[in-house]
Structure 1
Amino acid sequence: MRNIAPARRRLQQINPVYFVLAVLIVAIAVSNPSFVEPTGYMNFLKRAAPLAILAAGQIYVIVSGGFDLSVGSLITLTVVGSSMLLNNNADATWWVILVMYVIGALVGLINGLVVSYLRVPSLIATLGMMITLNGVAFMWSSGSPRGYLPETFRYFGRVNIQGVPLIQFLPVALIALVMVGATFYWLMHRTNFGRMLHAIGDNPRAAKMSGVPVERVRVLAFMVSAFSAVTAGILLGGFAGVSTDVGIGYELQAITATVIGGAQLLGGRGSVPASIAGALTLTAIFTLLNFVGLPKPTRDVVQGVILIAAVVLATYRRNRTGT
């Protein structure tokens, strides 16, 4: 009995999202046995990579006590803007990618400054930025982007490295997810920046009185989120090519993924690995719904129900524990 109690406590400390993800993976494998083949689960991870990267960036803003609704439109601007700047010139790929990251950094900086120094609620500030970026993408392309994304640009989201032992192939998008996820994990959970971020989300006034540069930390959080959006846009451009609606809905999916991962929408609590697991869980839900033949509107309903239920549960647990 002595050994059972510590084991039970350790089990209770594990984030439930990992158990939910495991159950969903089993359900997908049962409904479609080919999923357990390398082609099945590697393509699943490849599809999930952009959302997982986006959720790993969104959690920075949520932990600080805010939201970033502009990431979906920044994805669209990344894809459309890259197409317009490249103008069918594959040799320009690298400087165009650099330009898009500079634009992303500028967007994150503006979001952070407006929220931190002008005291505009993040929901309103980033909603305004979302509308602005969608307008810029539409005007830039006149509603119909010219040209295409060359293979040098689409490499990151489209190409699989062949001949990998055991798994046969390895998507470049999955490598990008691992690299971004590891970097974001280190930044949030192993540095003073991450500790200050959690302190701000938990109690911004107490954090400021303790000497935490609240405004600067929040600005950096929005810049991290923008970086993840540009990266996700590059991967999505590799998947599907150029479209003016490529980023629609991704901002809500990213928030849903972080909530599934146990993030507290009022700030102060959140984890990069759990947010990535939340994105994989959401993708698994969508995949399972597709396998059983349910239409896309049903998927949207399920996403909405999940988000509402997760928020209600998080609020209940916060009120019960008082933390």
Structure 2
Amino acid sequence: MTDQSAAPDRKRRRLPQINPVWVLLAVLIAGIVYMNPGFAEPTGYMNFLKRAAPLAILAAGQVYVITSGGFDLSVGSLITLVVVGASMLTNNDPSATYWVIPLMLAMGLGVGAVNGAIVCFLRVPSLIATLGTMITLNGLAFLWSGGAPRGYLPDTFRFFGRELIRDVPLVRFIPVSVIVLIVVVGLFAWLMHRTNLGRMVHAIGDNPVAARLAGVPVNRVRISAFMLSGLSGAIAGILLGGFAGVSTDVGAGYELEAITAAVLGGAQLLGGRGSVPAALGGALALTAIFTLLNFLGLPQPVRQVVQGLILIAAVALAMHRRKRTGT
């Protein structure tokens, strides 16, 4: 009798598990196509991917920090500092792009390293540490620009955010930002799911004491997670500067959108569980929700309310699932 009742359970366990975020994304895309049939054309979905690219890259980095048991609230301010700093450093000189972009990427890694060091060595909770970094970076961007950024980003810098590769078979064109998205998310997914780094990140988020006793270099891994998050913020800033131009609030709110996307993809805020492809799905789903709200003509405050409700619902569902399964 026991074997007979256990057989259906074994069959269910053998069935492929589909993350609900992909089902949600499919429903949202169907809704968008219903309201705007032109979305099914290459121009429609390629522009959608172009808009989603910065958030998706940011979520791919954020999921490292969340899976390790922390938060990174500084990435939105880092985006602003990258855009403002790049406009000041290039000073309308196209040739400056070739050293400014590596400098911005290094700055992202440096900000992440500082966040990680504060969390690991000063024992400051990541929520407070990165909140302080967020305020500091906003202040630096304001001081650097005087509140009004001068100059503009040259075309060589904006290439990554707004240029298109044309005459592509089947889809006709591919935005350069989509290629950057594929490369960055592919690299982050490989690191998370195919290397020891990803396994150690999950181990630390699940139980840092046990991970340390097992020989995991906890501090080094946590700092690496924050550095990857900072790198993703710098890359997202380069893309946003490409097609949004220079502004002192270009990165505002992106830190919460990245956390929402990661949690929507199934990452647990208490750590121990997270997936880069699922975070990508969460970012695409969140962008699809915002697209639907725009089609409906709803104002910006409604978008913020919806984002808050999504975050609360996703966290509540994750906590319920964790309590039910005991994992």
TM range (shorter): over 0.9
Deviation of 1:117 (Å): 1.2
Deviation of 1:296 (Å): 1.1
Q: Which residue of 1 aligns with 2:97?
A: 93
Deviation of 1:133 (Å): 0.2
Deviation of 1:293 (Å): 1.3
3-state DSSP class of the match of 1:163?
strand
Q: Hey, what's the Cα distance between the residues in 2 that align with 1:261 and 1:102? A: 28
Deviation of 1:60 (Å): 0.4
3-state DSSP class of the match of 1:13?
coil
**How high is the TM-score relative to the length of structure 1?**
0.97
After superposition, give the CA deviation of every residue in 1:6-47 in whole Å (9 maximum; x if it has no partner). 775455611110111001000000010110011000000000
Q: Hey, what's the Cα distance between the residues in 2 that align with 1:158 and 1:5? A: 50
Q: Which residue of 2 aligns with 1:132?
A: 136
Is 1:155 the counterpart of 2:159 in the alignment? yes
Deviation of 1:322 (Å): 1.5
Q: Which residue of 2 aligns with 1:54?
A: 58
- Going from structure 1 to structure 2, the CA distance change for 1:5 and 1:321 (only over 3 Å counts) comes to closer
3-state DSSP class of the match of 2:130?
helix
Q: Which residue of 1 aligns with 2:256?
A: 252
3-state DSSP class of the match of 1:238?
helix
Q: Which residue of 2 aligns with 1:263?
A: 267
Q: Which residue of 2 aligns with 1:165?
A: 169
Q: Hey, what's the Cα distance between the residues in 2 that align with 1:180 and 1:47? A: 16
- Going from structure 1 to structure 2, the CA distance change for 1:5 and 1:312 (only over 3 Å counts) comes to closer
Deviation of 1:319 (Å): 1.5
Unaligned runs of 5+ in 2: 1-6
Greater than 2 Å deviation, 4+ residue runs = 3-12
RMSD: 1.4
Aligned partner of 2:61: which letter? G
Of 162, 166, 184, the match for 2:188: 184
Aligned partner of 2:148: which letter? S
- Going from structure 1 to structure 2, the CA distance change for 1:5 and 1:72 (only over 3 Å counts) comes to same
Deviation of 1:287 (Å): 0.2
- Going from structure 1 to structure 2, the CA distance change for 1:205 and 1:86 (only over 3 Å counts) comes to same
Aligned partner of 1:179: which letter? V
Of 233, 240, 259, the match for 1:236: 240
Unaligned runs of 5+ in 1: none
- Going from structure 1 to structure 2, the CA distance change for 1:90 and 1:4 (only over 3 Å counts) comes to farther
Aligned partner of 2:282: which letter? G
Aligned partner of 2:85: which letter? G
Of 313, 318, 321, the match for 2:322: 318
Q: Hey, what's the Cα distance between the residues in 2 that align with 1:8 and 1:37? A: 38
Q: Which residue of 2 aligns with 1:103?
A: 107
Q: Which residue of 1 aligns with 2:24?
A: 20
Of 73, 76, 100, the match for 1:72: 76
After superposition, give the CA deviation of every residue in 1:255-293 in whole Å (9 maximum; x if it has no partner). 000010000000000000000010000000000111111
Deviation of 1:120 (Å): 0.4
Give the percent of matched residue pairs that are identical in Structure 1 and Structure 2: 71
Q: Which residue of 2 aligns with 1:221?
A: 225
Q: Hey, what's the Cα distance between the residues in 2 that align with 1:309 and 1:161? A: 39
- Going from structure 1 to structure 2, the CA distance change for 1:5 and 1:64 (only over 3 Å counts) comes to closer
